């Protein structure tokens, strides 16, 4: 699946700067919980304050704010694994994407966006969950090296997701459908620049 930097590629530099690419030295504990896509999907849709998926959405929307602006900023992602051993540093590995759209009639037209795979550090506060750091996979020649370091034994599982364009497009459609239904938007398709519209369902 191609990255959606489009002709707004200059804005992607700002997005990467916003992420900080912070690397940590904390060791992942042995007790880990694998989260499948259906759990991630329902958690994002419900925006339950008892889960940390809304915190991930907010963090990705913060990254999206550094791209060329659109009417809507909608994240989508596939979770590779989660480690909840340390409540003060919950680790969430995933293939994270964020897109900005303009709504034109019944179509969401892609303005900008991009891919940000990596591992998020999350903690629970009195006000709810928050992302405290993000170890992001680098682009270009550093991609494999940093992905192997960040995902470790999960690298193969990550690559199976990251290299599957059909799966990523399916997750994108699911995220869009959840968003338009939640906000009661009269939207039936989305369209990337230079490509034909795609039905959301």
pLDDT tens per residue across span 135-175: 999 999 999 999 999 999 999 999 999 999 999 999 999 99
Rounded Cα distance, 34 and 31, in Å:
10
Tokens representing 197? 């519209």
The residue among 88 and 50 whose pLDDT is bigger is: 88
Tokens representing 55? 């915190």
Residues of the chain above pLDDT 90, percent: 71
Rounded Cα distance, 114 and 4, in Å:
5
Question: What is the model's pLDDT at position 153?
Answer: 98
Question: What is the model's pLDDT at position 162?
Answer: 96
Buried b (16+ CB within 10 A) or exposed e, 12-46: beebbebbeeeeeeeebeeebeebeeeebbebbbe
Question: What is the model's pLDDT at position 10?
Answer: 33
- Residue among 103, 134, 155, 124 nearest 22 (CA): 134
Tokens 């680098």, residue located: 138
Instruction: Determine how many CB atoms are found less than 10 A away from the CB of residue 187.
Output: 21
Confidence of residue 3 (pLDDT cuts 50, 70, 90): very low
Summarize the confidence of residues 20-39 as an average pLDDT.
Answer: 34
Q: In which element (H, E) is residue 104 found?
A: strand 90-104
Confidence of residue 50 (pLDDT cuts 50, 70, 90): low
Confidence of residue 33 (pLDDT cuts 50, 70, 90): very low
Confidence of residue 51 (pLDDT cuts 50, 70, 90): confident
Give 144's contacts (C-beta < 8 A, 6+ positions apart): none
CB-CB contact of 168 with 95 (8 Å):
yes
Confidence of residue 43 (pLDDT cuts 50, 70, 90): very low
Tell me the CB-side half-sphere exposure of residue 138, using CA atoms within 13 A.
11
Rounded Cα distance, 191 and 176, in Å:
12
Give the residue ranges of DSSP H helices in the chain. Answer: 9-19, 37-46, 53-64, 143-151, 155-162, 165-182
């Amino acid at each position: 699946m191609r990255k959606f930097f489009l002709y707004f590629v200059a804005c992607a530099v700002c997005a990467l700067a916003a992420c900080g690419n912070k690397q940590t030295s904390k060791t992942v504990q042995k007790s880990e919980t694998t989260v499948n896509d259906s759990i991630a999907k329902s958690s994002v849709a419900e925006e339950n304050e008892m889960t940390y998926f809304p915190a991930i959405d907010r963090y990705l929307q913060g990254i999206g704010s550094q791209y060329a602006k659109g009417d809507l900023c909608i994240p989508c992602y596939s979770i590779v694994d989660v480690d909840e051993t340390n409540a003060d540093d919950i680790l969430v590995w995933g293939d994270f994407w964020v897109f900005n759209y303009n709504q034109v009639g019944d179509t969401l037209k892609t303005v900008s966006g991009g891919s940000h795979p990596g591992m998020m550090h999350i903690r629970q506060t009195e006000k709810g969950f928050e992302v405290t750091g993000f170890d992001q996979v680098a682009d270009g020649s550093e991609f494999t090296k940093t992905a192997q370091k960040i995902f470790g034994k999960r690298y193969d599982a990550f690559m199976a997701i990251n290299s599957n364009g059909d799966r990523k497009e399916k997750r994108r459609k699911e995220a869009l459908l959840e968003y338009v239904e939640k906000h009661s938007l009269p939207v039936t398709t989305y369209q990337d620049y230079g490509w034909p519209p795609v039905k959301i369902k």
